[in-house]
């Protein structure tokens, strides 16, 4: 008898959960107080990768806030690097007749079709964070300069290593173009130093737990390493945890990338040598501003479709000022 009641008790819980979802999306689509009257009731569709990662969360939060400030409603979806999902969200945006789409694309080649589909339907698309392999379809492609950021990070790390020593590399998700771009830029700097030896390269799929477990085993294979380079902060933080457990953090220099809050704290207290801040807040703001400009004037106001924003090197000197992907002036 009790179980029967329990079964029914689940229903109201589910209903409340649904209601909660509904109300939160309402608050998201709150239009601003009409700072731009002609934009009233217009909607921007924001399609991102995965808001559970602080980096993409900052991307979404910034774009939403900026769009709201300019008087747009917003919808937010996440494709988790799945092209089919991305395509579905684009279809949904087209049928909802949104004014513009802010998209963090899932793959440089794979996303061309999706962007084309929206453009053909008369909806301008503004790409942020990652690019596509074709120009002339999207109105803007705003990316952070991964190669430049990784070069800066690698230079700082080489300095900390004193130009010599054995190290291992934690590589990002192999299907993600940025994993290769960053790794190539790291090696562009590091490989000029013949006394720096790469002993092993493992992928940890951008993930902190995997970074830790892979690092623990690599430490067994190579107990005397003095350096770790990681394709992003999460993997670097996992490696740092493994090094702490093995009491080896003091002898090993770790390099990250992204500039999230945990990494900023790690750099500030000396656990991580450096990280490269991707100016995602700036990029996200620019994408929304350009979308707004384009809707009002037919031009984005930028000189070129492809725009690369430089990364900022975060070291002990400026780590304390870094918060939520913005360095305080």
Residues ≥6 apart with Cβ < 8 Å to 237: 208, 211, 256, 262, 263, 266, 272
**Span near other proteins by CB under 8 A; candidates 137-145, 158-166, 185-193, 204-212:** 204-212
Q: Contact between 5 and other proteins (CB under 8 A)?
A: no
Distances (CA, A) of 235 to 71, 211, 292, 311, 318: 38, 5, 36, 19, 22
Q: Contact between 209 and other proteins (CB under 8 A)?
A: yes
Q: Contact between 303 and other proteins (CB under 8 A)?
A: no
Residue number with CB closer to other proteins (22 or 174): 174
Quick one: which of 238, 256, 259, 283 contacts other proteins (CB under 8 A)? 238
Residues 238, 208: contact at Cβ < 8 Å? yes
The candidate with the shortest Cα–Cα distance to 168, out of 237, 239, 238, is 239
Phi, psi of 223 (to 5 degrees): -70, -15
Q: Contact between 170 and other proteins (CB under 8 A)?
A: no
Residues ≥6 apart with Cβ < 8 Å to 99: 39, 42, 43, 44, 72, 123, 291, 295
Residues 211, 170: contact at Cβ < 8 Å? yes
Q: Contact between 51 and other proteins (CB under 8 A)?
A: yes
Q: Contact between 122 and other proteins (CB under 8 A)?
A: no
Quick one: which of 216, 248, 310, 315 contacts other proteins (CB under 8 A)? 216
Q: Contact between 7 and other proteins (CB under 8 A)?
A: yes
**Span near other proteins by CB under 8 A; candidates 30-38, 46-54, 67-75, 100-108:** 46-54
Residue 217 Cβ vs other proteins, minimum distance, rounded to whole Å: 4
Q: Contact between 213 and other proteins (CB under 8 A)?
A: yes
Residue 258 Cβ vs other proteins, minimum distance, rounded to whole Å: 13
**Span near other proteins by CB under 8 A; candidates 91-99, 138-146, 236-244, 248-256:** 236-244
Rounded Cα gap, residues 302 and 286, in angstroms? 10
Q: Contact between 265 and other proteins (CB under 8 A)?
A: yes
Residue number with CB closer to other proteins (105 or 238): 238
Q: Contact between 19 and other proteins (CB under 8 A)?
A: no
Using CA atoms in the order 128, 129, 135, 137, what is the torsion angle rounded to 10 degrees?
-30
Residues ≥6 apart with Cβ < 8 Å to 138: 103, 115, 119, 125, 126, 127, 132, 305
Count of positions on this chain that bind other proteins (CB under 8 A)? 32
**First CA to last CA distance, the chain:** 64
Strands 227-230, 165-171: pairing is: parallel
Rounded Cα gap, residues 249 and 20, in angstroms? 44
Quick one: which of 214, 231, 252, 287 contacts other proteins (CB under 8 A)? 214
Residue 269 Cβ vs other proteins, minimum distance, rounded to whole Å: 11
Phi, psi of 102 (to 5 degrees): -100, 115
Residue number with CB closer to other proteins (238 or 256): 238
Q: Contact between 79 and other proteins (CB under 8 A)?
A: no
* Residues in touch with other proteins (CB under 8 A): 3-4, 6-7, 10, 51-54, 57, 171, 174, 200, 202-203, 207-209, 212-214, 216-218, 220-221, 234, 237-238, 241, 262, 265
């Amino acid at each position: 008898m009790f179980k029967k009641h329990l079964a029914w008790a689940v229903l109201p819980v589910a209903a409340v959960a649904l209601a909660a979802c509904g109300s939160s999306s309402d608050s998201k689509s709150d239009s601003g107080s009409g700072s731009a009257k002609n934009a009233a009731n217009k909607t921007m569709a924001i399609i991102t990768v995965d808001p559970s990662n602080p980096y993409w969360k900052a991307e979404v939060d910034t774009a939403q806030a900026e769009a709201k400030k300019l008087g747009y409603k917003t919808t937010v979806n996440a494709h988790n690097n799945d092209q089919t999902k991305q395509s579905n969200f684009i279809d949904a945006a087209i049928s909802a007749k949104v004014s513009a789409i802010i998209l963090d694309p899932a793959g440089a080649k794979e996303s061309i079709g999706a962007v084309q589909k929206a453009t053909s339907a008369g909806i301008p698309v503004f790409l942020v964070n990652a690019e596509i392999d074709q120009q002339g379809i999207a109105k803007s492609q705003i990316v952070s300069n991964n190669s430049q950021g990784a070069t800066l990070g690698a230079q700082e790390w080489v300095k900390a290593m004193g130009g010599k020593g054995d190290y291992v590399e934690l590589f990002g998700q192999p299907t993600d173009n940025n994993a290769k771009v960053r790794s190539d830029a790291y090696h562009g700097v590091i490989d000029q130093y013949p006394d720096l030896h790469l002993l092993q390269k493992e992928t940890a799929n951008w993930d902190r737990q995997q970074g830790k477990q892979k690092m623990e085993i690599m430490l067994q294979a190579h107990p005397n390493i003095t350096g770790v380079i990681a394709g992003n902060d999460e993997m670097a933080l996992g490696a740092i945890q493994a090094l702490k457990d093995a009491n080896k953090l003091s002898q090993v220099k770790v390099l990250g990338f992204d500039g999230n809050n945990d990494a900023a704290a790690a750099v500030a207290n000396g656990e991580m040598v450096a990280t490269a801040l991707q100016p995602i807040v700036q990029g996200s703001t620019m994408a929304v501003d350009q979308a707004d400009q384009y809707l009002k004037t037919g031009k984005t106001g930028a000189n070129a479709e492809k725009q690369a924003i430089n990364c900022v090197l975060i070291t002990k000197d400026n780590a304390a000022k870094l918060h939520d992907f913005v360095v305080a002036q």
